Amino acid sequence: MVINTQGLSFTFGKQQVVKSLELQVPEGSIYGFLGPNGAGKTTTIKLLLNLLKPDAGDIFVFGQDIKSQRISILSQIGSLIEQPAIYQHLTGKENLLNRALLLGVPAQRVDDMLALVHLSSAADKKAGQYSLGMKQRLGIALAMLADPKLLILDEPTNGLDPNGIIEIRELLKKLVAEHGKTVFISSHLLSEIERMATHVGIINGGAMLFQGSIADLQAISKPLVRIETENTVDAANLLTRHNYQLAQVTDHDLFVPYISKQQMGEINALLNKNGLAVYSIGKQQKDLEKLFLDITQNA
Amino acid sequence: MKGFILSFRSEFYKSRKTLGFWASIMLPLLICVLLFVGFYSKSEKLVSYPPMVLWLQFAGAILAVMGSLVLPMYIIFIAYSVNSIEHRADTWKTLFTLPIQRWCVYAAKYFYAVFLVFTCLALFVLFTIGFGNLLSVVKPELRFDDFHMEKELAEIYFKLFLSSLGILSIQFLLSLLWADFLKPMGIGFVCTIAGVILASKGWEYAYLFPYSHPMQAIKTMMHRGDSDHAKQLQIDIFTKDVFVSMAVGVVVFVAGYFIVQRRSVK
C-alpha cells in the first residue's frame, strides 16, 4: 500500500470532519477519492500531507509513519491542493524555476514540464494573467516537477474545459501505466473518476462509505437486462404475467433484474413468440452515478 | 541547513520583483538624494561650518528622519511584504508540503526580512558617505573631504539595526498570522507613535518598549560623560535598549515558530 491510514480522525472545533478513516491506496493505482462538496476530502488530503495534525489515528505513506518520516515522505509526493498556489507576480516559468530551486531539481526539467502541460508558449507571461485552466495546468506541472512517486491532486480538473480534462486524464493514465506512479485524486464527479480510476473510495460526512476497485463498485450495483421492443407497454404486461419482476419501465426500454444469460434468451423467445419484435436486449450495469447518489444519500 | 539556504535563495528569487525588495534600495537612495539636493542648493549658508559639523549636520538630518518614524514604518512594511507574498498567492500550504523542515521555511523568511533591513541600513551608510563626498566634489567650498566618520556612521547604523530587531520580530509574527495589511499596519502604527512619544519624553522605562528603540538608539548613541568634542563622537552601540531589542527579537522569533507550528495551515 502506498497510502494506508488507520482510524484517522480530525475535528474542526466541535465538528468531526474526518471519522476513523481507513484509506488503502495500492501502488500503481489511480485512486479516485469521491465525495460531495464538504465531505472531508480536502481535510483528508491535508492530513495526508501533514498540513493538519490528526486527533487520532496513524498515517503511513510508502510504509513510513508521517509523524517521524515527514521529510522523506514529502520528498516523494507531488501535490495540488484546492486552487493551485501560484505567485501571480512571477511568470509561469519563474514559478517553476522557484520550485525547482527549492527542490534541487535541474532547471532543464522546467522546460520539460512546461511542454508537458502545453504552457511553453505562455511561459514568459505573468501567471496572474493566466486563465483558470492555465493556472490549473501550471499547478499540475508544479506538482510533477520533482518526478514524485505519488501524486496527490485535489479536484485537479476544476475550471478546465473538456479538452483540458481529457488531456489531464490521459496524462495521469500514462504516468501510472508507463512510469509506475500512483495517483490519488479527489473529485465530486463520479463520471470523471469512473473514466480513469482503478480504485475508488467514497466518503461522505467524513466517513468512508465504500472502498475497493472499480470492479468491486460495479459488482455491488446489480446488473439489469435492458429490453427494447416495438411496444414497451405490451411487453411489460406480458413479462409481468409470466412472473418477471420489472425494475424500471421507460418510454423506449424496460428493465428486468439480470439473473443469467439463459434467462435473457428465455425473455427474448417469449417476446418473439407473442409477436413482439425485440430491437435489442442486453445486460447493463446500473448507472454508477445513481449508485453514488444512493450510497451518499442513504448514509 | 541546506533547506534554510534553499529557502533563503527562493525568498530572494520571489521578492526581487516586489516593492518590498525595491523599497530597501530606493528608501536610502531617495532620502540621501533629497538631503544632497538640500545641501547643494543651500551651500552658501553652510560654507562657514567646519567639516565635522558639516558631516554631523548631513548625517544627522538623515538619522533624524530615519530614527523617529521612517525606520519603524519601513520595518512594518518589510515584515508585511515578505509574508504577503505567500498570503496573496495562497502558497503557505505548498511551502509546508515541500520536503524541507518547517523551521527552515520559517527562519529563512524571517532572516530574509532581517537581511532586507540590514541591506537598507547598510545602503544608508554607503549613500551618506557617497553623497557627502560627492558634495565636496561638486561644491568644493563645502569641506566634506576634510573629515572622516565612516566608522562612526557604520556603528550608528549598526546600532539602529540591532535596535530594530524587536519591532521586526513582532511585526513579522503579526504579518504572518494575519493575511490583511490593516491589522499589523494599524497595530504597528499606533505602537510606533506611542514609542516615539515615550522615547522623546524621556520616560525612564522607554527602553523596555521595542517601538521606542530606534529613537532610543539615536538618543543613547553618544558616549556620555565626556565634554571633549572628539570623544563625543565615540558611539555606544550596546546600550540597554539595544539589549532589550535583541532579547525581544530572539524571544518573539522563537515563540513565533511554536505558534506557527501549532497553527493549522488553512
- The per-residue pLDDT for B227 is 53
**Interface touch A90/B14, C-beta < 8 Å:** yes
Mean pLDDT to the nearest integer, B63-75: 85
Confidence of residue A291 (pLDDT cuts 50, 70, 90): confident
d(C-alpha B170, C-alpha A73), whole Å: 33
On average, the pLDDT of chain A sits at 88
Residue B89 has its nearest CB partner, among A71, A74, A86, at: A86
Same domain assignment for residues A206 and A260: no
Say yes or no: A226 and A206 in one domain.
Answer: no
Considering only CB atoms, which residues of chain A are within 8 Å of chain B? 46, 49-53, 71-72, 74-75, 77, 79, 81-83, 85-90, 94, 97-98, 101-104, 142
Examine the pLDDT at B86 and tell me if it is beyond 60. yes
DSSP per residue, A32-65: EEE--TTSSHHHHHHHHTTSS--SEEEEEETTEE
Answer whether A10's CB lies under 8 Å from A42's CB: no
Q: Is B48 on the interface with A (CB under 8 A)?
A: no
To test the contact with chain B by mutation, choose from A64, A87, A184 the residue with the greatest count of B C-beta atoms within 10 A, namely A87
| Cell reading at B218 | 539615536
In chain B, which residue's Cα lies nearest the Cα of A48?
Answer: B97
- Joined together, the cell numbers standing for residue B15 give 521578492
Within A145-242, residue ranges assigned H as helices are: 162-179, 190-194, 214-220, 232-241
Q: What CATH number has the domain bearing residue A14? A: 3.40.50.300
Amino acid at A236: A
Each residue's pLDDT tens digit, A19-48? 998 999 999 999 999 888 888 899 999 999
pLDDT in tens, B231-258: 556 777 788 888 989 999 999 999 988 8
Residue of A nearest to B90 (CA): A85
Q: Does A123 share its domain with A227?
A: no
Neighbours of B117 (CB within 10 A): 22
Residue B266 has pLDDT above 70, yes or no: no
Residue B15 in contact with residue B21, Cβ under 8 Å? yes
Tell me, what's the pLDDT at A276? 87
Lowest mean pLDDT among A154-158, B34-38, B165-169, B245-249: A154-158
The pLDDT value given to residue B28: 92
Poorest-confidence range of A221-225, B110-114, B129-133? A221-225
Least confidently predicted of B66-75, B113-122, B179-188, B189-198: B66-75
When scoring A69, A102, A105, A142 by the number of chain B Cβ atoms within 10 A, the one with the most, hence best to mutate, is: A102
Identify which of A60, A50, A147, A133 has the alpha carbon closest to the alpha carbon of residue A103.
A147
- Give residue-wise pLDDT tens across range A79-135: 998 888 899 999 999 999 999 999 999 989 999 999 988 899 999 999 999 988 889
Looking at the fold, whether A197 and A283 belong to one and the same domain comes out as no
Query: Residue range A53-64: average pLDDT?
Result: 92
* Shortest Cα distance, chain A CAs vs residue B79, angstroms: 18
Q: What is the pLDDT of residue A287?
A: 65
Biggest alpha carbon–alpha carbon distance for chain B: 64
* A214-228, B114-128, B230-244: range with lowest mean pLDDT: B230-244
* Rounded CA separation B178/B184 (Å): 7
Give CA–CA dist A26/A199, Å, rounded: 8
- Looking at A219, A243, A271, the residue that finishes a domain is A219
Tell me which chain A residues have a C-beta less than 8 angstroms from the C-beta of B96. Answer: 50-51
Residues A146 and A264 in one domain: no
Give yes or no: residues A253 and A194 share one domain: no
Q: Which of B13, B90, B93 sits opposite A101 (nearest CB)?
A: B13
Task: Single out the residue of A273, A277, A276, A281 nearest to residue A254, CA to CA.
Answer: A281
- The phi, psi pair for A84, rounded to 5°, reads -60, 140
Q: How far is CA B153 from CA A224, A235, B24, B209, in A?
A: 89, 102, 18, 25
Contacts 24+ apart (CB under 8 A), B217-221: B217/B67, B217/B159, B217/B160, B217/B162, B217/B163, B217/B241, B217/B242, B218/B63, B218/B64, B218/B67, B218/B156, B218/B160, B221/B155, B221/B156, B221/B159
**A273 and A199 inside one domain:** no
A28 and A53 assigned to the same domain: yes
Residues A167 and A264 in one domain: no
pLDDT > 60? residue B223: no
Q: Does B45 touch chain A (CB under 8 A)?
A: no
Question: A275: domain CATH number?
Answer: 3.30.70.120
By Cβ distance, the residue of A83, A89, A98 closest to B18 is A89
Domain span at A246: 222-298
Average the pLDDT over B16-36 and give the result.
92
Residues in chain B with CB shorter than 8 Å from the CB of A53 are 264
Structural domains in chain A (count)? 2
pLDDT for res B56: 87
- Residues of chain A in contact with residue B13, where contact means CB-CB under 8 angstroms, are 94, 97-98, 101
User: Do residue A143 and residue A285 come from a single domain?
Assistant: no
Residues of A in contact with B18 (CB under 8 A): 89
Q: Is B19 on the interface with A (CB under 8 A)?
A: no
- C-alpha grid cell, residue B58: 548631513
pLDDT value at residue B109: 93
Question: A230 and A207, same structural domain?
Answer: no
User: Is B258 at the interface with chain A, CB within 8 A?
Assistant: no
Q: Among all chains, which residue has been given the C-alpha cell 516593492?
A: B19
Residues A123 and A188 in one domain: yes
Higher pLDDT: B228 or B17? It is B17
The arithmetic mean of pLDDT across residues B37-60, rounded, is 87
Q: How confident is the model at residue A188 (pLDDT cuts 50, 70, 90)?
A: confident
On whether the CB atoms of residues B248 and B165 are closer than 8 A, the answer is yes
pLDDT digits (tens, 9 = 90+) for A136-146: 889 989 999 99
Q: How far apart, in whole angstroms, are the C-alpha atoms of residue B241 and residue B13?
A: 34
Q: What residue spans define the domains of chain B? A: 2-262
